[in-house]
Amino acid sequence: MATKTKPSLPKTSRGAALWAERSRIVSSGTAAYTDLVLERGLGAKVWDVDGKEYIDFAGGIGALNVGHCHPKVVAALREQAGKLLHTSFHVAAYENYLGVCRELIAVAPIPGEKKAILFNSGSEAIENAVKFARGFTKRRTVIAFDNAFHGRTLLCLALDGKHKPLRQGLGAMPPDVHHARYPYSYRPPMGVSPADLTAHCLESLENLFRVSAAAEDVAAIIVEPVQGEGGFIVPTAGFLKGLRSLCDKHGIVLIIDEVQTGFARTGKLFAIEHDGIAPDLLVTAKSLCGGMPLSGVVGRKDIMDSVATGAIGGTYGGNPMACAAALAVFDIVKNDGLVEKGKTVGETVKKRFDAFAAKYPFVGESRGLGAMRAIELVTDKKSKTPLPAAKVKAILHDCQDRGLIAIKAGVHDNVIRTLMPLVIKDDELERGLSALEGALDSVKL
Ligand SMILES: Cc1ncc(COP(=O)(O)O)c(C=O)c1O
């Protein structure tokens, strides 16, 4: 198979010079989905330092559902910057931290009394959700899933369901973490029919209880309602409900990781609402804050109050600037129909991706929920052998040449996913999808 691989930037451009400097002075440990150096963004468009315009289907990896530099977010930040930048919530409270907690408590699909707390990153919130679960249950074991992604701090690395490159060469991981099977219907275990996949995965969990992680030692099961980095894998019907039942049966805390799925991406405010089950703890980050670093855990009051005062927190968690931006995001969600946009953008992308799956022999599957959509690329539909990562990279480079930023996902790095801002205009969405189609058209088998 031949794909276009011409370099994206002329070697003499300012972007190329800055990129070369990035390679020289920034640790090579951080991923590089593109070789772009950006200067500004607005809505679903960004411009690089050489003035070239791109449609952004990456949205800061799902952190920009409200778009780049949303005017309400920018205005809130400008106003807040003149008032208070930082106190540390440990030292003194401030009103917009309470405002964000109030909003999270109001919208979290969890019945009964709730409390919330704020952090900086998704990983930090995940780590603390596990601490709450351990504090509450006085148990130590945590169960995560194959293909899962929960972050890159040490405990999150242990939870991740992909070894390379995440844990590669990094030594011992925190103990008492086990992985169970997530229902990946495009790649079910050999001999398991799609109809049996939910039961098979729930039984694999029961087996784990019997073999290596006694249910009475399990503090938490942590799960993404749609796996993000794992390849936009939507679980089979009944799987999440089954997890809820198992947690109820064994007194296990169910942690739902909505870091990538949350804030309207799937056509609901939180993806778990599609399944109608209640988490014990819900973790949010990314699009909660329109581009600023903020995350949170919202959950049952009894769990959230179960750890010693001082055991949870950090200098910057729920910083006043980030809280100001998050309150603007809640305003946009309520008043600008963001959840509806998650549905309509998703419908448009789905139509095109379904057509790609019908048109190209190397598009194995079109899948997703709302505007969280993906295509999985294979060498051929029969073998489902993942298209080699280098080929996928070449397609994404071609997209970049055509003015589209698109990124990959998947345990085999063979999935192209869409996380465009939901405020994207119809003509921008069409331009982005056409650029992707052009790149797929130029793939030669
Ligand atoms: C589902 C999920 N959980 C947790 C994280 C970690 O978030 P962060 O990168 O902000 O630490 C991510 C990041 O992509 C994610 O997608």
pLDDT in tens, 119-174: 999 999 999 999 999 999 999 999 999 999 999 999 999 999 999 999 999 999 99
Statement: residue 10 has pLDDT above 80: no
Note the pLDDT tens digit of each residue in 272-316: 999 999 999 999 999 999 999 999 999 999 999 999 999 999 999
252 near 218, Cβ under 8 Å? Answer: yes
Any atom of ligand 1 within 6 Å of the Cβ of 161: no
DSSP 226: S
Phi-psi region of 60 (alpha: psi -120 to 50; beta: other; left: phi over 0): left
Model pLDDT, residue 445: 72
Any atom of ligand 1 within 6 Å of the Cβ of 229: yes
At the top level of CATH, the class of 72-335 is alpha beta
Query: Cα(34)–Cα(340) distance, rounded to whole angstroms?
Result: 30
Statement: residue 3 has pLDDT above 90: no
Residue nearest to atom 3 of ligand 1 (CA): 150
* Å from CA of 151 to ligand 1 middle: 5
Question: How many CA within 13 A on the CB side of residue 187?
Answer: 19
Mean local confidence (pLDDT), 57-73: 98
CATH 2.60.40.10 fits 14-62+366-441, yes or no: no
Domain limits of the chain?
14-62+366-441, 72-335
Any atom of ligand 1 within 6 Å of the Cβ of 224: yes
Q: How far is CA 289 from CA 63, 64, 111, 298, 421, in A?
A: 7, 8, 24, 15, 13
Any atom of ligand 1 within 6 Å of the Cβ of 227: no
Cα 45 to chain centroid distance, Å, stands at 20
Any atom of ligand 1 within 6 Å of the Cβ of 225: no
Q: Residue 56, SS3? A: strand
Residue in this structure with the two tokens 């074991």, named with its chain if needed: 141
Same fold flag, 14-62+366-441 and 72-335: no
Helix H or strand E encompassing 377: strand 372-377
Active-site residues: which are they?
149, 257, 286
For a mutational test of ligand 1's pocket, the pick from 120, 121, 150, 156, i.e. the residue with the most ligand atoms closer than 8 A to its C-beta, is 150
* Å from CA of 262 to ligand 1 middle: 11
Q: Per DSSP, what are the bridge partners of residue 227?
A: 233
Q: Which residues contact residue 299 at a Cβ distance below 8 angstroms, ignoring those fewer than 6 apart?
A: 108, 110, 114, 115, 116, 129, 132, 279, 280, 281, 282
Statement: residue 2 has pLDDT above 70: no
Mean local confidence (pLDDT), 8-14: 72
Q: What is the pTM of this model?
A: 0.96
